[in-house]
Protein backbone atom coordinates (compact mmCIF):
# COMPACT_ATOMS: atom_id res chain seq x y z
CA UNK A 1 0.00 0.00 0.00
CA UNK A 2 3.01 2.29 0.10
CA UNK A 3 5.11 3.38 -2.84
CA UNK A 4 7.80 5.50 -1.23
CA UNK A 5 5.87 8.73 -1.78
CA UNK A 6 3.60 10.66 0.53
CA UNK A 7 1.15 8.35 2.29
CA UNK A 8 -2.36 8.44 0.92
CA UNK A 9 -4.58 8.88 4.01
CA UNK A 10 -7.59 7.24 2.39
CA UNK A 11 -8.11 3.99 0.51
CA UNK A 12 -8.81 5.40 -2.95
CA UNK A 13 -7.00 3.38 -5.61
CA UNK A 14 -4.84 5.10 -8.13
CA UNK A 15 -4.48 3.79 -11.69
CA UNK A 16 -2.69 0.46 -11.62
CA UNK A 17 -3.19 -0.11 -7.88
CA UNK A 18 -4.63 -3.47 -6.82
CA UNK A 19 -7.71 -3.73 -4.62
CA UNK A 20 -6.44 -3.42 -1.06
CA UNK A 21 -6.99 -6.38 1.27
CA UNK A 22 -7.52 -5.82 5.00
CA UNK A 23 -7.65 -8.60 7.57
CA UNK A 24 -10.95 -8.37 9.47
CA UNK A 25 -9.85 -8.14 13.12
CA UNK A 26 -6.67 -9.72 11.80
CA UNK A 27 -8.43 -12.43 9.82
CA UNK A 28 -9.10 -16.07 10.64
CA UNK A 29 -6.20 -18.12 11.96
CA UNK A 30 -4.84 -19.95 14.99
CA UNK A 31 -5.18 -16.83 17.13
CA UNK A 32 -7.72 -14.66 18.88
CA UNK A 33 -9.17 -11.84 16.82
CA UNK A 34 -8.08 -8.27 17.52
CA UNK A 35 -4.71 -9.37 18.91
CA UNK A 36 -1.13 -8.62 17.99
CA UNK A 37 -0.79 -12.24 16.87
CA UNK A 38 -3.75 -11.87 14.51
CA UNK A 39 -2.39 -8.69 12.95
CA UNK A 40 1.06 -10.22 12.50
CA UNK A 41 -0.56 -13.27 10.91
CA UNK A 42 -2.50 -11.11 8.46
CA UNK A 43 0.68 -9.30 7.45
CA UNK A 44 2.56 -12.57 6.96
CA UNK A 45 -0.25 -13.78 4.71
CA UNK A 46 0.22 -10.70 2.54
CA UNK A 47 -2.57 -8.39 3.72
CA UNK A 48 -2.12 -4.70 2.98
CA UNK A 49 -3.39 -3.96 6.44
CA UNK A 50 -5.96 -4.78 9.09
CA UNK A 51 -9.27 -3.69 10.52
CA UNK A 52 -9.55 -3.50 14.30
CA UNK A 53 -12.05 -2.48 16.99
CA UNK A 54 -11.26 -0.05 19.82
CA UNK A 55 -13.12 0.50 23.08
CA UNK A 56 -12.51 2.58 26.21
CA UNK A 57 -12.07 1.10 29.67
CA UNK A 58 -13.48 2.76 32.79
CA UNK A 59 -10.09 4.36 33.52
CA UNK A 60 -9.62 5.70 30.00
CA UNK A 61 -7.41 3.07 28.36
CA UNK A 62 -8.04 2.31 24.68
CA UNK A 63 -8.11 -1.44 24.15
CA UNK A 64 -9.10 -3.74 21.31
CA UNK A 65 -12.27 -5.80 21.57
CA UNK A 66 -15.21 -6.22 19.20
CA UNK A 67 -18.04 -6.98 21.61
CA UNK A 68 -19.02 -4.61 24.43
CA UNK A 69 -18.42 -7.33 27.02
CA UNK A 70 -15.53 -9.69 27.67
CA UNK A 71 -16.81 -13.18 28.56
CA UNK A 72 -16.37 -13.78 32.27
CA UNK A 73 -15.39 -10.16 32.96
CA UNK A 74 -18.34 -8.00 31.91
CA UNK A 75 -18.50 -4.74 29.95
CA UNK A 76 -15.18 -3.28 28.82
CA UNK A 77 -16.47 0.20 29.70
CA UNK A 78 -17.02 -0.86 33.32
CA UNK A 79 -13.61 -2.45 33.90
CA UNK A 80 -10.16 -0.96 34.46
CA UNK A 81 -7.28 -1.59 32.08
CA UNK A 82 -5.52 -3.77 34.66
CA UNK A 83 -8.59 -6.03 34.71
CA UNK A 84 -8.37 -6.79 31.01
CA UNK A 85 -6.95 -10.17 29.92
CA UNK A 86 -3.26 -10.24 28.96
CA UNK A 87 -4.02 -11.10 25.33
CA UNK A 88 -5.96 -7.85 24.81
CA UNK A 89 -3.68 -5.17 23.30
CA UNK A 90 -3.97 -1.43 23.58
CA UNK A 91 -4.59 0.68 20.50
CA UNK A 92 -1.05 2.04 20.60
CA UNK A 93 0.47 -1.44 20.76
CA UNK A 94 -1.58 -2.50 17.76
CA UNK A 95 -0.72 0.57 15.70
CA UNK A 96 2.97 0.23 16.42
CA UNK A 97 2.76 -3.45 15.55
CA UNK A 98 1.23 -2.53 12.18
CA UNK A 99 4.03 -0.19 11.17
CA UNK A 100 4.11 0.37 7.42
CA UNK A 101 0.67 -1.16 6.89
CA UNK A 102 -2.82 0.25 6.48
CA UNK A 103 -5.11 0.26 9.53
CA UNK A 104 -8.85 0.77 9.76
CA UNK A 105 -9.60 1.77 13.36
CA UNK A 106 -13.28 1.16 14.08
CA UNK A 107 -14.45 3.09 17.15
CA UNK A 108 -17.02 1.14 19.14
CA UNK A 109 -19.61 3.13 21.11
CA UNK A 110 -23.18 2.42 20.05
CA UNK A 111 -26.28 3.59 21.95
CA UNK A 112 -27.77 0.11 22.27
CA UNK A 113 -24.59 -1.42 23.77
CA UNK A 114 -23.73 -1.76 27.45
CA UNK A 115 -21.42 0.98 28.63
CA UNK A 116 -22.53 3.49 25.99
CA UNK A 117 -20.98 6.92 26.57
CA UNK A 118 -23.11 9.75 25.09
CA UNK A 119 -20.10 12.10 25.36
CA UNK A 120 -18.07 9.85 23.02
CA UNK A 121 -14.92 10.19 25.09
CA UNK A 122 -13.49 7.23 23.22
CA UNK A 123 -13.57 9.24 19.99
CA UNK A 124 -11.81 12.23 21.57
CA UNK A 125 -9.18 10.02 23.14
CA UNK A 126 -8.54 8.09 19.94
CA UNK A 127 -7.93 11.44 18.23
CA UNK A 128 -5.50 12.43 20.99
CA UNK A 129 -3.61 9.14 20.76
CA UNK A 130 -3.34 9.24 16.98
CA UNK A 131 -2.10 12.82 16.96
CA UNK A 132 0.43 12.28 19.75
CA UNK A 133 1.81 8.94 18.61
CA UNK A 134 1.94 9.77 14.90
CA UNK A 135 4.14 12.78 15.65
CA UNK A 136 6.70 10.62 17.47
CA UNK A 137 9.74 9.18 15.71
CA UNK A 138 8.74 5.55 15.94
CA UNK A 139 7.00 2.72 14.10
CA UNK A 140 3.61 3.72 12.72
CA UNK A 141 1.12 2.60 10.04
CA UNK A 142 1.47 3.94 6.51
CA UNK A 143 -2.13 5.13 6.67
CA UNK A 144 -4.94 5.20 9.21
CA UNK A 145 -8.66 5.50 8.59
CA UNK A 146 -10.99 5.94 11.56
CA UNK A 147 -14.41 4.39 11.01
CA UNK A 148 -17.68 3.96 12.86
CA UNK A 149 -21.29 3.00 12.22
CA UNK A 150 -22.36 5.98 14.31
CA UNK A 151 -22.14 9.36 12.59
CA UNK A 152 -21.96 11.25 15.87
CA UNK A 153 -18.84 9.32 16.84
CA UNK A 154 -17.12 10.39 13.64
CA UNK A 155 -18.27 13.98 14.12
CA UNK A 156 -16.77 14.07 17.63
CA UNK A 157 -13.54 12.47 16.41
CA UNK A 158 -13.27 14.90 13.49
CA UNK A 159 -13.81 17.94 15.71
CA UNK A 160 -11.19 16.75 18.20
CA UNK A 161 -8.73 15.93 15.44
CA UNK A 162 -9.11 19.34 13.79
CA UNK A 163 -8.83 21.15 17.12
CA UNK A 164 -5.60 19.37 18.01
CA UNK A 165 -3.91 19.70 14.64
CA UNK A 166 -1.02 17.56 13.41
CA UNK A 167 2.64 18.35 13.88
CA UNK A 168 5.90 16.87 12.69
CA UNK A 169 4.69 16.04 9.20
CA UNK A 170 2.20 13.48 10.50
CA UNK A 171 -0.62 12.71 8.09
CA UNK A 172 -4.06 13.26 9.60
CA UNK A 173 -6.22 10.14 9.72
CA UNK A 174 -9.10 9.95 7.27
CA UNK A 175 -12.71 9.22 8.21
CA UNK A 176 -14.83 6.32 6.96
CA UNK A 177 -18.55 5.83 7.58
CA UNK A 178 -19.59 2.22 8.08
CA UNK A 179 -23.01 1.37 6.65
CA UNK A 180 -25.19 -1.36 8.16
CA UNK A 181 -26.87 -3.50 5.47
CA UNK A 182 -30.30 -2.59 6.86
CA UNK A 183 -29.75 1.11 6.13
CA UNK A 184 -30.11 3.14 2.95
CA UNK A 185 -26.64 3.31 1.46
CA UNK A 186 -27.53 6.26 -0.80
CA UNK A 187 -28.50 8.33 2.25
CA UNK A 188 -25.31 7.16 3.96
CA UNK A 189 -23.27 8.67 1.14
CA UNK A 190 -24.80 12.07 1.85
CA UNK A 191 -24.09 11.64 5.56
CA UNK A 192 -20.49 10.68 4.83
CA UNK A 193 -19.99 13.77 2.67
CA UNK A 194 -21.39 15.95 5.44
CA UNK A 195 -18.93 14.44 7.90
CA UNK A 196 -15.99 15.04 5.60
CA UNK A 197 -15.33 11.33 5.13
CA UNK A 198 -12.68 10.13 2.71
CA UNK A 199 -14.32 6.70 2.49
CA UNK A 200 -17.64 4.94 2.84
CA UNK A 201 -17.70 1.36 4.16
CA UNK A 202 -20.83 -0.49 2.97
CA UNK A 203 -21.61 -4.17 3.49
CA UNK A 204 -20.74 -6.18 0.38
CA UNK A 205 -24.44 -6.85 -0.26
CA UNK A 206 -24.97 -3.10 -0.82
CA UNK A 207 -22.21 -2.67 -3.39
CA UNK A 208 -22.76 -2.23 -7.10
CA UNK A 209 -21.07 -0.20 -9.82
CA UNK A 210 -23.53 2.68 -9.46
CA UNK A 211 -22.74 3.03 -5.75
CA UNK A 212 -19.00 2.94 -6.37
CA UNK A 213 -19.23 5.48 -9.19
CA UNK A 214 -21.32 7.80 -7.04
CA UNK A 215 -18.91 7.54 -4.11
CA UNK A 216 -15.95 8.20 -6.39
CA UNK A 217 -17.73 11.20 -7.91
CA UNK A 218 -18.12 12.52 -4.37
CA UNK A 219 -14.40 12.05 -3.75
CA UNK A 220 -14.71 9.02 -1.49
CA UNK A 221 -13.20 5.56 -1.63
CA UNK A 222 -15.32 2.43 -1.14
CA UNK A 223 -14.17 -0.11 1.45
CA UNK A 224 -16.52 -3.09 1.69
CA UNK A 225 -16.93 -5.71 4.40
CA UNK A 226 -16.87 -8.66 5.24
CA UNK A 227 -16.03 -10.29 1.91
CA UNK A 228 -15.36 -13.99 2.50
CA UNK A 229 -16.80 -15.93 -0.45
CA UNK A 230 -15.29 -16.02 -3.96
CA UNK A 231 -18.48 -14.84 -5.67
CA UNK A 232 -18.82 -11.96 -3.21
CA UNK A 233 -15.27 -10.91 -3.99
CA UNK A 234 -15.75 -11.17 -7.73
CA UNK A 235 -18.88 -8.99 -7.55
CA UNK A 236 -17.34 -6.15 -5.54
CA UNK A 237 -14.15 -6.15 -7.60
CA UNK A 238 -16.22 -5.85 -10.80
CA UNK A 239 -18.08 -2.97 -9.19
CA UNK A 240 -14.77 -1.15 -8.71
CA UNK A 241 -14.25 -1.06 -4.94
CA UNK A 242 -11.01 0.26 -3.55
CA UNK A 243 -10.55 -2.15 -0.64
CA UNK A 244 -12.09 -5.27 0.86
CA UNK A 245 -12.18 -6.37 4.49
CA UNK A 246 -12.06 -10.14 4.82
CA UNK A 247 -11.61 -12.98 7.29
CA UNK A 248 -9.89 -15.05 4.58
CA UNK A 249 -6.77 -13.06 3.74
CA UNK A 250 -4.87 -15.82 1.94
CA UNK A 251 -7.89 -16.95 -0.10
CA UNK A 252 -8.79 -13.41 -1.07
CA UNK A 253 -5.27 -12.60 -2.19
CA UNK A 254 -5.10 -15.82 -4.20
CA UNK A 255 -8.35 -15.06 -6.02
CA UNK A 256 -7.08 -11.57 -6.79
CA UNK A 257 -3.96 -13.10 -8.33
CA UNK A 258 -1.79 -11.83 -5.50
CA UNK A 259 -1.27 -15.10 -3.66
- Domain of 56, CATH number, reads 3.20.20.190
- φ, ψ for residue 8, nearest 5 deg: -85, 115
CB 107 within 8 A of CB 123: yes
In a domain, 5, yes or no: no
Average pLDDT of 2-23? Answer: 71
In a domain, 11, yes or no: no
Q: For residue 106, what is the DSSP state?
A: E
pLDDT at 15: 86
Question: Which segment of 71-75, 160-164, 165-169 scores lowest on mean pLDDT?
Answer: 165-169
In a domain, 8, yes or no: no
Domain that holds residue 74: 20-255
Residues 191, 176: Cα–Cα separation, whole Å: 11
Contacts of 45 (CB under 8 A, 6+ apart): 23, 27, 29, 249, 250, 253
Number of domains in the chain: 1
Residues 249, 21: Cα–Cα separation, whole Å: 7
CB 223 within 8 A of CB 244: yes
pTM here?
Answer: 0.94
Give me the chain's average pLDDT, please.
Answer: 93
Residue percentage of the chain with pLDDT more than 90: 86
Amino acid sequence: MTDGGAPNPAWRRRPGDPVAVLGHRGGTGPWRENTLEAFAGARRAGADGVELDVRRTSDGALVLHHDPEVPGLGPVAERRADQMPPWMPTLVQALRGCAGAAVDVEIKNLPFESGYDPDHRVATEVADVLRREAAEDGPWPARVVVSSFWAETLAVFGAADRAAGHRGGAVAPALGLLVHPALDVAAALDTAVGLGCAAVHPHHSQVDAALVDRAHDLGMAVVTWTVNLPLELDAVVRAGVDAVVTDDVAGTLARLGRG
